[in-house]
Amino acid sequence: MNTARFQHLIPAGVIFILAAIVTWLSFTEEPIESFLFPRAISVFFISLALWNLVRAAGGLSKVGEGMSPAMIKNVLPGTIIMIIFVFWAAKGLGFYVASSLAFFTLYTLYDAVSWSSLKGWLKRLMITAAFMAVIYGLFTLVLQVRTPRGLFF
């Protein structure tokens, strides 16, 4: 197996494993009514992840050179923040508080604006508030999905 194929296979495998875990959780959690939307989405995503894995294993993924060490270094902080969000913060702090903190932290890490700029901090806060308003409207009002309850919500 050549290096390019191996570099496509690793991310495809990780994505498939994560999709499998999410799918399994959506089918095993209670109450059933709260997980109908996540089940539909997770089945769609695991299908895409399986297709991607098969393409990577068969050498059909010919786009790019895979993930370079520099790209992994750039993606790693965001991945760590999202893992903390999924496995601790959402249940510990509540979905909306944890989502706000995760979004704000990710935005701050990847934003090109200097951390010493007051205008940059205000922009980050306003965009985080707007993002959370959309998320609240989508999950609570439109989809009527139960979100993890925690310390604050």
Domain ends where: 66, 85, 106?
Answer: 66
Specify the residue for token string 């495998």: 13
Where in the sequence is the domain holding 36, given as residue range(s)?
A: 1-66
Q: How does DSSP classify residue 94?
A: -
- This prediction has a pTM of 0.61
Q: Are 12 and 83 in the same domain?
A: no
Domain ends where: 47, 66, 85?
Answer: 66
Q: Are 53 and 20 in the same domain?
A: yes
Q: Are 23 and 43 in the same domain?
A: yes
Q: List per-block mean pLDDT (blocks of 10 residues) for the chain, which spans 153 residues.
A: 70 90 84 76 93 87 70 86 81 84 91 91 96 88 72 54
Question: Using CA atoms in the order 96, 74, 24, 20, what is the torsion angle rounded to 10 degrees?
Answer: 150
Specify the residue for token string 């209670």: 30
How deeply is 98 buried, as exposed, middle or buried, from its count of CB atoms within 10 A (0-12, 13-18, 19+)?
A: buried
Q: Are 74 and 143 in the same domain?
A: yes
How many structural domains does the chain have? 2
